[in-house]
Amino acid sequence: FDMTAEDDKKLSEGLDRFGSFFTGPLFTESGTNRELNAIESENAKNLQSDVFRLYQIEKSRANNLHPYSKFYTGNKATLLDGTKKNKIDLRTELIKFYGKYYSADVMSLGVVGPQPLPLLKEMVLTAFSDIPTNELGVKPEQSWAGKIPPFLPGNNSIIPAQKNIVEIVPVADIRQVILTWPIVFESVKDKEAQFLDKPAFYISHLLGHEGPNSLLSYLKKQGWANGLGSSTDAELSDFYTFQVSVQLTEKGLKNIDDIVEAIYSYIQMLRDDPMP
């Protein structure tokens, strides 16, 4: 959260209040119901959002056994009707989840403020030291990261994934083609190297360049594109996705195969003629 931090007393009080969410949550019946209504409202709003619709489609292409495939936000049908149908008390399960997984050893905290570091450290220790360590043993991600493939060919996902084209009818007036590659970490060492070296950022810069002789300049010269974006998207413990998204003209919509070929040709050029 953000707050005015120049006043030491106000910052200290703000951190205490924030820390209390983790050290002493109330989980009252009324509070739980209000949050459920907020989730339902947010999900209803997202139904007409192309960004969220695209994201849920992407998740629906993941391996059904991988947690990435799960419903992104939930709603009353899944969180209330579904739990009642299975004779599960939602609030009880919420408290059990908190007691098991809200553990200091699987949390990270970052605090930025104008105060000297010793004073910030003192405020943090006061506000957050009471968060318990539950000694989970096996962290949740260790049960699936590196063990359950996020994407697989075949019929193990709601929507086909690898080597398949998905055509989407948008809510808004959008013409777009998106290419997505999952980058699955081969090992813990590979994951650390990816996070430290950030090769995707270099590739993103090269593919997303908008100057002369760039991919976008070529697509614009053909009258196919108005814009192009290239970046990482989903980031999980065992993989991340890399996307190239092209905003199409009406002419471009009729020449998608040529646009995809141009993208792959540009990637091949980068591989064949790397910079010194």
Judged by DSSP in three states, 253 sits in helix
Per DSSP, the residues of 32-53 read HHHHHHHHHHHHHHHTT-HHHH
Residue 273: the pLDDT is 74
Query: Cα(76)–Cα(90) distance, rounded to whole angstroms?
Result: 11
Residue 171 near residue 51 (C-beta atoms within 8 A) = no
Complete DSSP assignment for 47-73: TT-HHHHHHHHHHHTS-TTSGGGS-SS
Q: Per residue in 11-55, pLDDT tens?
A: 999 999 999 999 989 999 999 999 999 999 999 999 999 999 999
The DSSP element (H or E) to which 241 belongs, if any, is strand 239-248
Nearest to 219 by CA among 256, 182, 273: 256
For 109-133, how does the pLDDT look when each residue is reduced to its tens digit (9 = 90+)? 999 999 999 999 999 999 999 998 8
Residue 274 confidence (pLDDT): 61
pTM exceeds 0.95 for this model = no
pLDDT reading at 275 higher than 70: no
